[in-house]
Amino acid sequence: MANLESHIAWRYLFSKKGHNAINIVSGISAVAVGVVTAAMICVLSVMNGFGSLVEHMFSEFDPVLLVVPAEGQILRTDAEPVVSLYAREDIEAISMQLEQTALIRYKDHQLPARVMGVDDLFTRTANIDSIITDGFYSVWDGAFDRAVLGRGLAAQIGINAHFTGALHLYAPERTGKINMLRPDKSLRHEHAFIAGTFAVNQLEYDDQLMLVSLSLAQRLFAYDEHIATALRIQPGKGVKISNLKSQLITLLGPEYRVLDRYEQQQDFFRILRIEKLMTILLLVFILIIASFNIIGSLSMLIIDKSEDIRILSHMGANEETIRRIFLLEGWFISSLGTLCGLVLGVLLCLGQQHFGWLTLGNGAEYVISAYPVQVQIVDVLMVAVIVLTLGFAAAYYPTRRMQIK
């Protein structure tokens, strides 16, 4: 019986109707569903593309895993749990970083900045050379302390990699008393010469961050050589990051937190997920409006096929069988639109990915020249389920209310 219902519904889908308007409305219904489906695929793929692009930018600087104290700002690298990390064979490199806020000055310009002191292993936990925009990376040249500034920070203070003047850094004394008569005497002072600038294309890095040697940062902030604010972990080749993270959490205990790249940029990725959810809800609302065409076309078809309904009833078909025929008819309309929309959306995304039809511009202010897209099978399946479910619901309503005599 199910095959008979499907066969009749399929014949109704392509057969000539008594009124040409039914064919037009049915076609519009399928096209509307297809267009919205393609739009959902394209919009979600573009959001995936931008998310992947920004994730790649962060990954050029952020370590694979970051160990930070659960409370407070600093940790001791000579503490027993931390020392045990250096003996692990599944860790390729461990780099210390000490990051705090300081006042930086160059000639008449001064402003607060995040000063990050890094050791010699920093380059093994960050692909820093790939994001250098001017000069070169160096925090110690064998004779002088060097500094590498975010591109925006360097522009704000009026310096670039070719300047030879010293950059002065000031931080308040942590342990001594403040001299109210000479507040300037309560500041620790260091200086460094700029070596280069970098750009992650994220304001929190480019406009605020400055890299110096770990020893300079420890002197500036009055910490000994075993103090850091975080440890940057580079896993060995072939090591599964999730497994290593779980092992480190167990090894270090509750006094430390182990963050992967998503957790290091938790706020950004949370906002991205919220934006994606809101976009899906908006497109689903548009799809619901488009589904009203299915209700209209199916209602008109039921009226047009009233004679067929009477004949089927006399031949022994019960009400439930007849309702399922028209329910399948409406679902076929939705399925046809969904299939065409999925194919169209994926083809448009692949075309944009390879040919870059939609451009952002050719200026230096753009990181890329064309809209990035990334088609994910999960999104395709999710869109298909949503559209087909709404299509089924749109077909269900008129079939439940049809009168069969």
User: What's the average model confidence in pLDDT over 364-382?
Assistant: 86
Domain boundaries, given as residue ranges, for the chain? 2-59+268-401, 65-261
| SS3 assignment, position 75 | strand
Residue 377 has pLDDT above 70, yes or no: yes
Q: How far apart are the first and last CA of the chain?
A: 21
The structure's pTM equals 0.82
Reported as a single tens digit per residue, the pLDDT across 198-210 is 999 889 999 999 9
The beta strand positions in 187-245, using DSSP E, are 187-198, 209-213, 227-228, 230-235
What's the CA gap between 214 and 211, in Å, rounded?
A: 9
- Assign 170 a pLDDT band (cuts: 50, 70, 90): very high
User: What's the average model confidence in pLDDT over 163-192?
Assistant: 81
User: What's the average model confidence in pLDDT over 310-321?
Assistant: 78
pLDDT at residue number 300: 81
Q: Mean pLDDT score of the chain, rounded to an integer?
A: 89
Residue 304 has pLDDT above 90, yes or no: no
pLDDT at residue number 398: 81
Q: Which residues of 383-396 are buried (b: 16+ CB within 10 A; e: fewer)?
A: bbebbbebbbbbbb
List Cβ neighbours of 33 (8 Å cut-off, separation of 6 or more).
287, 290, 291, 294, 333, 334, 337, 338, 341, 387, 391
What's the CA gap between 296 and 393, in Å, rounded?
A: 13
Contact 279, 51 (CB under 8 A): no
User: What's the average model confidence in pLDDT over 76-105?
Assistant: 95
What's the CA gap between 147 and 144, in Å, rounded?
A: 10
The beta strand positions in 214-359, using DSSP E, are 227-228, 230-235, 256-260
Reported as a single tens digit per residue, the pLDDT across 244-280 is 999 999 999 999 999 999 999 999 889 989 999 999 9
pLDDT at residue number 25: 76
List Cβ neighbours of 300 (8 Å cut-off, separation of 6 or more).
19, 21, 22, 25
- Assign 23 a pLDDT band (cuts: 50, 70, 90): confident
List Cβ neighbours of 24 (8 Å cut-off, separation of 6 or more).
none
